[in-house]
C-alpha cells in the first residue's frame, strides 16, 4: 500500500539518518562473518523450479500439524534446520553471482549502490540521454565496465538527481522497460549508507539497490488455558489470490515497502490501519520497533536486496483484524509454535521474506532458543 510522504525537511533529515543507521546495522554481519563458506550458485531455471516445487508443497490444512514436541535435540535440530532452509531460500544470491558477468555494478557519485543485469544496463545507457541537456548521457559505462550515473557530476544534490533520473525512467516506462509502475519513490542508498537520490519503486530490483520495508508481528498473549504462563498467538493473513506477487500465500498482520521520506514507524502505523483495520491511535501508542533483518535473493533474475524494519504489536484477545484494502483475504490466529512448524516443515506456504521476521520474533519470544542445535547459524542467516 502506498503511504503519503512528509515533505518537512527536518523530518527528511531524521529519516535519512534512520535509514543510514539501519543500513549500516544490516551490513554488520558481513564484517562479523566475512569468512563464511560460500554456497553453490544454481542456474536461474533451476532456482525457479525449486521455488515452484516448494510453493506447490502448500497444504491448505494448517490444523493438521501435530502439537510442538521439541523436547529433545533431534526434534529441535529438525525444526531449526527447516527454519534455516526457509531463511536460505531468501539468500540465494552469492558473492560469486555478484562478481560474475551476471551483473554489472551501478555507481552514483563514485559510490556503489546496486547490481544491474547486463541487458538492463544496456537499456540504461541507450535510453539514459537527457534531451534537455544537449543529449547528456545520464547513464554511461566506464572503462572498468561499471555503469555510472552522472559521471560528470553535473547534478550535485539528491533533489537534482531525483528529478533527472525521473525523466529517463518515465521514458523507459513508456517503452515497457520498467514494468509494474507504482508511482511511489524509494531511496537509493549507497553501501556506505548515504541516501543518493530517489527512484520509482518499480525500478528497485532492476537496479539491484537496497530497498526498505516494514513488517508487523501482530500477536496476542493468551492465558485462556488457565495456566500461569501465557501462550503467544500470532495473527496470520492470507494474501489475496488477485495479488500480483505471491497470491494466496500466508503473510503478516501488515507489511509494506518504505517510501522515500517516510519514517518507518509512521509507515508501520499506516499499514496497520490500511491492511488490518487497526486504529491508528492504538498503533501509535503500542507498536514497538524491535529489530531489523535483511536478505539478498534472486527476483525475476534481478538482485533483490531488502532491509526489513521489524515491529511488534500486542493486541487484545477480543480484537479481530479485518481486511481493508483488499490485499489480504482473511486473518487467522495461530500459536507461534504452530507458525514455526508451518515455516519449517511446510515450505512455500509463507511469503518468503515474512519467515525472517517471524523467526526473529520466535527467537525473542523464547520459542526458538540458544539450546537448540544450529541456533547460532540461524541467527547469523537473518542478516545479510
- Cα torsion 75, 78, 79, 80: sign: positive
Residue 348 — left, alpha, or beta (φ > 0 → left; ψ -120 to 50 → alpha)? left
pLDDT of residue 266: 98
Q: How many CB atoms lie within 10 A of CB 34?
A: 7
Q: State the Cα–Cα distance between residues 278 and 113, nearest whole angstrom.
A: 36
Cβ–Cβ under 8 Å, residues 276 and 321 = yes
The most distant pair of C-alpha atoms in the chain lies apart, rounded to whole Å, by 76
- Average pLDDT on 319-340 reads 94
pLDDT of residue 62: 39
Q: Which three cell numbers stand for residue 379?
A: 541467527
pLDDT tens, residue by residue, 221-233: 987 545 556 689 9
Going by pLDDT thresholds of 50, 70 and 90, the confidence category of residue 49 is very low
pLDDT of residue 59: 34
Residue 192 DSSP SS3: coil
- Average pLDDT on 180-198 reads 95
pLDDT over 70 (residue 187) = yes
* Residue keyed to cell 523450479: 49
Cβ–Cβ under 8 Å, residues 268 and 286 = no
pLDDT of residue 68: 52
Q: How many CB atoms lie within 10 A of CB 74?
A: 10
- Average pLDDT on 106-125 reads 96
Q: State the Cα–Cα distance between residues 217 and 275, nearest whole angstrom.
A: 13
**Which carries the bigger pLDDT value, residue 166 or residue 55?**
166
pLDDT over 90 (residue 27) = no
Q: Which three cell numbers stand for residue 79?
A: 525444526
Q: State the Cα–Cα distance between residues 12 and 14, nearest whole angstrom.
A: 6
- Average pLDDT on 7-33 reads 46
pLDDT tens, residue by residue, 279-303: 999 999 999 999 999 999 999 899 9
Q: Mean pLDDT for the chain?
A: 84
The helix or strand, by DSSP H or E, that contains position 284, with its residue range, turns out to be: helix 280-286
Q: What pTM does this model have? A: 0.80
pLDDT over 60 (residue 10) = no
**Which carries the bigger pLDDT value, residue 328 or residue 57?**
328
Cβ–Cβ under 8 Å, residues 154 and 135 = no
Q: Which of 110, 130, 135 is nearest to 190 (CA)?
A: 110
pLDDT of residue 243: 85
Amino acid at each position: 500500500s502506498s503511504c503519503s510522504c512528509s515533505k518537512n525537511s527536518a523530518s527528511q533529515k531524521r529519516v535519512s539518518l534512520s535509514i543510514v543507521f539501519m543500513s549500516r546495522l544490516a551490513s554488520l554481519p558481513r564484517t562479523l562473518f566475512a569468512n563464511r563458506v560460500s554456497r553453490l550458485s544454481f542456474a536461474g531455471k533451476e532456482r525457479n523450479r525449486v521455488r515452484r516445487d516448494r510453493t506447490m508443497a502448500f497444504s491448505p490444512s494448517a490444523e493438521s500439524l501435530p502439537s510442538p514436541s521439541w523436547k529433545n535435540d533431534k526434534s529441535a535440530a529438525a525444526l531449526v534446520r527447516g527454519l534455516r532452509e526457509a531463511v536460505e531460500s531468501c539468500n540465494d544470491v552469492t558473492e560469486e553471482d555478484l562478481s560474475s558477468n551476471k551483473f554489472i555494478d551501478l555507481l552514483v557519485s563514485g559510490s556503489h549502490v546496486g547490481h544491474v543485469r547486463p541487458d538492463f544496463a544496456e537499456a540504461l545507457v541507450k535510453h539514459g540521454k537527457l534531451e534537455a541537456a544537449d543529449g547528456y548521457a545520464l547513464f554511461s559505462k566506464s572503462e572498468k565496465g561499471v555503469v555510472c550515473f552522472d559521471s560528470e557530476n553535473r547534478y550535485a544534490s539528491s533533489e537534482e538527481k531525483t528529478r533527472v533520473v525521473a525523466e529517463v525512467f518515465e521514458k523507459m516506462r513508456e517503452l515497457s522497460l520498467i514494468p509494474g509502475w507504482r508511482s511511489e519513490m524509494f531511496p537509493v542508498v549507497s553501501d556506505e549508507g548515504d541516501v543518493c537520490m530517489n527512484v520509482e519503486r518499480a525500478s528497485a530490483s532492476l537496479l539491484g539497490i537496497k530497498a526498505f520495508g516494514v513488517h508487523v508481528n501482530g500477536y496476542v498473549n493468551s492465558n485462556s488455558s488457565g495456566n500461569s504462563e501465557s501462550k503467544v498467538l500470532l495473527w496470520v493473513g492470507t494474501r489475496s489470490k488477485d495479488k500480483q506477487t505471491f497470491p494466496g500465500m500466508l503473510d503478516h498482520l501488515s507489511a509494506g515497502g518504505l517510501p522515500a521520506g517516510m519514517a518507518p514507524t509512521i509507515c508501520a502505523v499506516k499499514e496497520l490501519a490500511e491492511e488490518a483495520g487497526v486504529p491508528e491511535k492504538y498503533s501509535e501508542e503500542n507498536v514497538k520497533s524491535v529489530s531489523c533483518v535483511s536478505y539478498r535473493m534472486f527476483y525475476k533474475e534481478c538482485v533483490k536486496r531488502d532491509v526489513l524494519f521489524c515491529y511488534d504489536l500486542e493486541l487484545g484477545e477480543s480484537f479481530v483484524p479485518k481486511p481493508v484494502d483488499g490485499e489480504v483475504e482473511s486473518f487467522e490466529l495461530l500459536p507461534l509454535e504452530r507458525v514455526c512448524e508451518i515455516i519449517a516443515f511446510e515450505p512455500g506456504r509463507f511469503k518468503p521474506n515474512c519467515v525472517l521476521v517471524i523467526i526473529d520474533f520466535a527467537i525473542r519470544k523464547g520459542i526458538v532458543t540458544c539450546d537448540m542445535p544450529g541456533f547460532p547459524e540461524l541467527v547469523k542467516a537473518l542478516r545479510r
